Amino acid sequence: MKIIKTKRELQQFALEIKRSGKTIGFVPTMGYLHAGHMSLIDIARAKADVLFVSIFVNPTQFGPNEDLDLYPRDFERDLAMCTEHKVDVIFAPEPQEMYCSDNTTWVEEKKLSGPLCGASRPCFYRGVTTVVAKLFHLVMPDFAVFGWKDAQQLLVIKRMVRDLDFPIEIIGAPLVRDTDGLALSSRNRYLSDDERTRALAIHRNLLTARKTVEEKGLAALEGALEEARQGITASGGRIDYVTALDVDTMEEAVSGSAGLLIAAAVFYGTTRLIDNEVIEFSK
């Protein structure tokens, strides 16, 4: 497995691979890898001739009072997991390598990134789209895999790729959970045992809301969401949002919507967790 730290070396290596006619698959991550990341890597591995994974805790997607400095890191462990899953190239730049100190150019998606995490974390999606666009220019992948765990992020990236004509296929991978239902996340590491047990309420309540809407339709949505909010609050969670939107437009779901994203962001202690359920409506 090749480990690359500079943009120049990465771009040159990617170009060589492209010129040899091989396909490039790409999985961008912030490291501290877990089985959720590895499921994306396995999907990409099965499809690509050469598989690139980036490990970069992107400073531009963190707000001033967020957990950039505390974000968990374990590069050696990440490397071992990537070796085991047959990754070919790791790109792990330092922030000063990734961004010029006087960087003034940003990529911004203006609609799908508005609600949910975009509303609570104003600079977040601008940081995500900018770093992903930069990574796409460096890696030049044929396809890239993103998790449904970050459903809004997946939609925003798909929109960016469409609007800016990146010749890249974006593949959505299913959300991976622990055996008890907690969505896997690098941030679970911050949770105390007690908080982790309480946090199971997120998935439990989203599932109940999902079942209610599946059985009774959209008319039951507001009641189901309110019940979920009450259940999550009772578990000790501090709700950022528990809400539902049309999964394509990020607007209010209506009877013609193709699908519903039921999404939650909840704090347990100081740790902010996100989770979601997606219902596809049959036409």
Query: Candidates 46-54, 65-73, 146-154, 209-217 — which segment interacts with ligand AMP by CB under 6 A?
Result: 146-154
119: tokens are 């509303």
Rounded CA-CA distance 198/181 in Å is 12
If DSSP codes are grouped into helix, strand and coil, which group holds residue 51?
strand
Rounded CA-CA distance 259/200 in Å is 24
Choose the catalytic residue: 37, 85, 137, 203: 37
If DSSP codes are grouped into helix, strand and coil, which group holds residue 273?
strand
- Mask: binding to ligand AMP, 218-257, rule CB under 6 A, as x and -? ----------------------------------------
34 has catalytic annotation: no
Query: Candidates 77-85, 105-113, 147-155, 267-275 — which segment interacts with ligand AMP by CB under 6 A?
Result: 147-155
Are 127 and 106 in contact by the 8 Å Cβ rule? The answer is no
User: Helices 124-139 and 151-163 sit at what angle, rounded to 10 degrees?
Assistant: 60
Query: Candidates 30-38, 92-100, 130-138, 201-209 — which segment interacts with ligand AMP by CB under 6 A?
Result: 30-38
Rounded CA-CA distance 251/115 in Å is 9
Select from 14, 25, 36, 54 the one that contacts ligand AMP (CB under 6 A): 36
Select from 133, 173, 201, 247 the one that contacts ligand AMP (CB under 6 A): 173
Beta-bridge mates of residue 146: 172
Q: Which amino acid is at 250?
A: M
Place of tokens 């390598």: 97
Assess 276 for contact with ligand AMP (CB under 6 A). Answer: no
Assess 26 for contact with ligand AMP (CB under 6 A). Answer: no
Assess 278 for contact with ligand AMP (CB under 6 A). Answer: no
Pick 16 or 280: Cβ nearer ligand AMP: 280
Are 254 and 107 in contact by the 8 Å Cβ rule? The answer is no
Active site residues: 37
* Binding residues vs ligand AMP (CB under 6 A): 29-30, 36-37, 39-40, 146-147, 149-150, 173, 175-176, 183-186
